[in-house]
């Protein structure tokens, strides 16, 4: 079902999804850390077209909500005052892509805050937190995969190109890493690193930990490609003309590995996004107040939230389109290039 379409379509779909998350400032109405202590665990707001008097409004509107008198978790709409939903409103200042300062938001409202997907324990807008949280989770996945592939290619190319004792040593170590259950390895590595760190430190810590555990599989694949590539006639010819090792690797051999590396990237990124989510979910990842998909889900560990606030589950659903995109891309790449079979459980040890 997935395989028949070209990989370009998947790439475009992924680019759009990542673009939305990257420009979260524009698509979200509020700052992800801005609190509203009057409205904790507010359910998603309803968008109306017909008001309480039965009049039809062309512009969608919503009612501001407040705690019902004498209750601490029941909200009711103040139906006397419809708040129109506005598009391209100016609001909180943000920097688009971390660079361009702007204050324009896709949607918002003047008189009251609008909660598209409800609010969390501190009354922070869940929708904004999901989009901003995606920035951290996806960035961790992308950087982690980049790091892993860098080390994997480096080690794999060294082992394959030079052979001999280097090959033996590196591949024995790689075997060790492949045999390790990688989630446990991730945990063990995280266990031996400091627990209390600043959010930014934690982020880079997670990326490097994630990057450090996964290199073995890509390294083995790259080694295989390099082994066969270095025996090709044009490589031998170039060597005969006196090309240096570095030139041969850069010009002739590494380009051969590109399809394997790309396919691996499409497989690794969602895996690492999930790894970051798992770590953050368990409280070992990026700490508050920064949102990440994992730490957003962490509130579901409380029984009361699980019972009454289903919208806290929304971040879990947000990742599904991303994973679908990556899966589609990976299988389309494999079909197109015919290289690098899906390496999951069937990889030989």
Partner 1 sequence: MRYFLRRLLQAAFLLIGVSILTFLFSALAPGNYFDEMRLNPQISPETVAALRVQYQLDRPVPVRYLRWVNSLLHGEMGYSFAYNSPVAPLLWVRARNTLLLALVASLIAWTLALTLGIWSATRLGRLPDRALSGITAALLVIPDLVLALGLLIIAVRTGWFPTGGMISVGFDSLSPLEKLRDLALHMALPVTALALSALPTLVRHVRAAIADALSAPFLRVAASHGIPRRTLLYRYALRAAANPLISLFGLSLGALLSGSLVIEVVMSWPGLGPLLLEAILARDLYVVIGGVLCSTVFLVAGNFLADVLLYLADPRIRTQVAAR
Q: By CB under 8 A, tell whether 197 contacts partner 1.
A: no
For partner 1, the closer CB: 156 or 294: 294
**Residue 182: CB minimum distance to partner 1, A:** 9
**Residue 340: CB minimum distance to partner 1, A:** 17
Q: By CB under 8 A, tell whether 169 contacts partner 1.
A: no
Binds partner 1 by CB under 8 A, chosen from 232, 283, 289, 341: 283
What is the rounded CA–CA span in Å between residue 17 and residue 322?
7
Q: By CB under 8 A, tell whether 67 contacts partner 1.
A: no
Q: How far apart are the first and last CA of the chain?
A: 30
Binds partner 1 by CB under 8 A, chosen from 180, 227, 243, 339: 180
For partner 1, the closer CB: 283 or 289: 283
Alpha helix (H) ranges present in 282-313?
293-297, 303-308
Listed ranges 73-81, 100-108, 178-186, 215-223: which one lies at the site for partner 1 (CB under 8 A)? 178-186
What phi and psi values does residue 58 have, to the nearest 5 degrees? -70, -35
**CA angle (116 as vertex; 202, 298 as ends), nearest 5:** 35
Alpha helix (H) ranges present in 181-292?
182-191, 199-213, 216-229, 233-240, 245-248, 258-281
**Residue 35: CB minimum distance to partner 1, A:** 25
What is the rounded CA–CA span in Å between residue 174 and residue 133?
33
Q: By CB under 8 A, tell whether 346 contacts partner 1.
A: yes
Q: By CB under 8 A, tell whether 282 contacts partner 1.
A: yes
Residue 87 neighbours by CB distance under 10 Å? 11
For the segment 290-319, give every residue that binds partner 1 (CB under 8 A): 297, 300-301, 303, 306-307, 310, 313, 316-317, 319
What is the rounded CA–CA span in Å between residue 303 and residue 133?
23
Token pair for 172: 């024995």
For partner 1, the closer CB: 246 or 303: 303
What is the rounded CA–CA span in Å between residue 330 and residue 318?
20
Largest CA distance in the chain: 88
For partner 1, the closer CB: 53 or 349: 349
What is the rounded CA–CA span in Å between residue 156 and residue 335?
23
For partner 1, the closer CB: 64 or 186: 186
The single-letter DSSP state of residue 98 is T
What is the rounded CA–CA span in Å between residue 333 and residue 313?
32
**Residue 313: CB minimum distance to partner 1, A:** 6
Cβ neighbours for 271, distance < 8 A, ≥ 6 positions apart? 141, 214
Binds partner 1 by CB under 8 A, chosen from 89, 92, 96, 193: 193
**Residue 214: CB minimum distance to partner 1, A:** 15
Listed ranges 37-45, 106-114, 136-144, 177-185: which one lies at the site for partner 1 (CB under 8 A)? 177-185
Size of the site for partner 1 (CB under 8 A): 45
Residue 204 neighbours by CB distance under 10 Å? 13
For partner 1, the closer CB: 99 or 317: 317
Q: Which residues pair with 105 in a beta bridge?
A: 89
| Interface ranges with partner 1 (CB under 8 A) | 1-2, 175-176, 179-181, 183-185, 187-195, 274, 277-278, 281-284, 297, 300-301, 303, 306-307, 310, 313, 316-317, 319-320, 323-324, 327, 344-346, 349
């Amino acid at each position: 079902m997935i395989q028949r379409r070209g990989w370009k379509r998947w790439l475009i779909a992924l680019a759009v999804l990542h673009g939305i998350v990257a420009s979260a400032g524009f698509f979200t109405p509020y700052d992800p850390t801005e609190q509203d202590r009057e409205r904790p665990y507010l359910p998603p707001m309803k968008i109306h077209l017909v008001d309480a008097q039965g009049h039809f409004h062309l512009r969608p509107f919503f009612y501001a909500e407040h705690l019902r008198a004498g209750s601490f978790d029941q909200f009711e709409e103040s139906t006397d005052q419809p708040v129109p939903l506005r598009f391209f409103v100016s609001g909180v200042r943000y920097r688009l892509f971390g660079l361009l300062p702007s204050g324009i938001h896709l949607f918002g409202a003047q008189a009251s805050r609008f909660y598209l997907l409800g609010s969390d324990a501190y009354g922070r807008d869940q929708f904004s937190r999901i989009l901003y949280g995606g920035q951290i989770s996806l960035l961790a996945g992308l950087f982690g995969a980049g790091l892993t592939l860098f080390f994997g290619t480096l080690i794999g190319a060294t082992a394959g190109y030079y052979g001999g004792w280097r090959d033996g040593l590196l591949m024995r170590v790689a075997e060790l890493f492949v045999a390790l259950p990688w989630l446990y390895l991730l945990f063990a590595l995280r266990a031996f690193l400091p627990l209390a760190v600043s959010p930014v430190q934690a982020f880079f810590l997670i990326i490097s930990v994630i990057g450090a555990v996964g290199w073995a599989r890509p390294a083995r694949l790259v080694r295989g490609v390099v082994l066969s590539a270095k025996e090709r006639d044009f490589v031998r010819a170039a060597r005969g003309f006196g090309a240096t090792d570095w030139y041969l690797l850069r010009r002739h051999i590494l380009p051969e590995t590109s399809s394997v590396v790309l396919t691996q990237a499409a497989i690794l990124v969602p895996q690492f996004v999930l790894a970051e989510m798992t770590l953050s979910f368990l409280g070992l990842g990026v700490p508050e107040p920064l949102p990440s998909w994992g730490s957003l889900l962490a509130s579901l560990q409380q029984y009361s939230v699980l019972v009454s606030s289903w919208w806290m589950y929304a971040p879990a659903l947000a990742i599904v389109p991303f994973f679908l995109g990556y899966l589609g891309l990976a299988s389309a790449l494999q079909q197109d290039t015919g290289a690098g079979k899906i390496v999951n459980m069937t990889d030989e040890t």
